[in-house]
Structure 1
Amino acid sequence: MLRFLVAESETPQAREERRGSVGRSSGETYLDILEKLAPGVVCDRIQPADADAALPPGATLAGFDAVFLTGSPLHLYEETPKTRRTIAFMRAVFEVGTPAFGSCAGLQVATVAAGGSVRRNAHGQEAAFARRITLTEAGRVHPLLAGRPASYDAPAIHTDEVASLPPGAVLLAGNRVTAVQAAEIRFERGVFWGIQYHPEIGLDEVAGALRRQAEGLVEAGLAGSRDDVEAYAGQIDALHRKPTRRNLAWQLGLDEEVTDERRRLTELRNFIETVARFGRAGPFSVGK
């Protein structure tokens, strides 16, 4: 039986705001998805940014089959107790060699923990969807991205990005807005597979994120008003309720890589299947 640990670095306020808009925190979204993709899995959760964060009694990082890092509003280039605790947690994961996966801020946390850097988005934020993510030569043969086409869209909302990957990391995908959309990072005894986008969230959560960040989207010039944000979010919500509505998918410029849940979850499914098949061997062996 697999045992997973979900590391949720949202602040308590951010967790409650997210629950208020979509009914669950980022960690709770991960728990739901992991239980769907790996029936029977035992999942625990930790909030490494919190001062009182602790593993379940008797548990160790080495005792988990995999660790999953969620999205978070933390800015990893800011030196704060929360960012220090989160980075220290990821370094501990690398040190014990437990395979890890992360989306959005999860990729950024692993990057900084292994010696890379993060910055504000140089080309402006991606909001709702990352468009035309393109596989690198390495990405086309990497098991994380198996089944993805050469270019695809994915749910994405972020104001920060990876500025430089750590030494030895492998770039797997990028697009015009964000150069690092997917990467493999090897550090100490561990291997991390990460993406800047959010395969774990459904269209309802995309709409909720837009509503929570409406003021910032207007300030960034991505929307003329909060009403514009609401209109766009309403279309996304409607497509969530009925993913087969081709007219809405056409209006939003989306295809099955986003609207079909199985295809949207490609990276998570690939990671879990690799963990289940190889454990810490094969693709997760340091030096491979």
Structure 2
Amino acid sequence: MIAESETPAERDARRAHAGKSSGETYAATLKQLAPHCSVDIVQPADDDAPIYSPHDLARYDAVFLTGSPLHVYEATPEVRRQLDFMRAVFASGTPSFGSCAGLQVAVAAAGGRIRKMPERMEAGISRRIVATPAGRDHPLLAHRAATWDAPAIHGDEVDELPDGATLLATNPVTRVQAVEIRHDRGIFWGVQYHPELALGEIAVALRRQADDLVAAGLADNASDVAARADQLDRLHDTPDKRALRWLLGVDGEFADEHGRRREIINFLNALPALDRRPSKRR
């Protein structure tokens, strides 16, 4: 199951600009990595969405939570519905994975706290991510380099991790870059960056948020944002081009599709070993 928290209008806008909703991007990625998998896409934040019980969710091998413009610290009906859904995922025992806002939803549902990033954003490339001591041997980060870059675009971040969480990776901009959460019967692996996205999709996101990036001081003007987006588009088309890698200051961890998707690949490989824990309720 893939759960996307974009509103209907946001899904339509993303399709118009990037060709897919966030859930459709995840589905395409999973179909490439596991061609025989069956995927259901749901929108638990919608006002007419069905309510999924833990029993409903236990039928799935895994649940994926996408990124979205949702701000988890805002007490909107959409946020409340998304958090209720994630609590049901934890109660079901079904292993789950999330990126960007998906990570933030899982943190908040388990009792942690999310905040708006103070006077900064992380956009385009998340730089110099490193595993924590707990993350160095964790299967989520298997085969990662000692330090790596990843596609990212977010203005919110984890402020406080919940009980049962293990910090797995960090960088100088955002302390929580990867985490494992054990809550209720469930286990969640998540990252603040976007292993599911193609570089062309990151380029689209930069263009759409150009005003925000200028306001955050990441670019002097919209033309600078467009130039960086153009570079990412070119790297998307020619990922092996040495001159582009040098220009952007990246290596195969970022430029190569397999390198970008490593955490999703590791999660899929680990699923058979992620035993569902018995309920704590008696």
**TM range, smaller chain:** over 0.9
- 3-state SS, counterpart of residue 148 of structure 2: strand
CA distance in 2, matches of 1:80, 1:90: 16
CA distance in 1, matches of 2:118, 2:265: 31
Unaligned runs of 5+ in 2: none
Describe how 1:1-288 pairs up with structure 2 within 5 A: 5-54=1-50, 60-122=56-118, 124-275=120-271, 277-278=272-273, 280-281=274-275, 285=277
* Offset, 1:36: 0.8
CA distance in 2, matches of 1:261, 1:104: 18
1:207-248 CA-partner distances (Å, limit 9, x unpaired): 000011011111111111111111111111011111111111
Mark the CA change 1:272 to 1:131 in structure 2 (over 3 Å): closer, same or farther: same
Unaligned runs of 5+ in 1: none
Letter in structure 2 aligned against 1:157: I
1:72-129 CA-partner distances (Å, limit 9, x unpaired): 1111111000000000000000011100000000110000000000001136110001
Task: State the identity as a percent.
Answer: 57
CA distance in 2, matches of 1:214, 1:171: 31
The alignment of Structure 1 onto Structure 2 pairs a total of residues equal to 277
CA distance in 1, matches of 2:68, 2:205: 12
Runs of 4+ residues over 6 Å off in structure 1: none
C-alpha root-mean-square deviation of aligned residues, in Å? Answer: 1.5
1:140-175 CA-partner distances (Å, limit 9, x unpaired): 010000010121000000000000000121000000
Mark the CA change 1:256 to 1:286 in structure 2 (over 3 Å): closer, same or farther: farther
- 3-state SS, counterpart of residue 71 of structure 1: coil
Letter in structure 2 aligned against 1:80: T
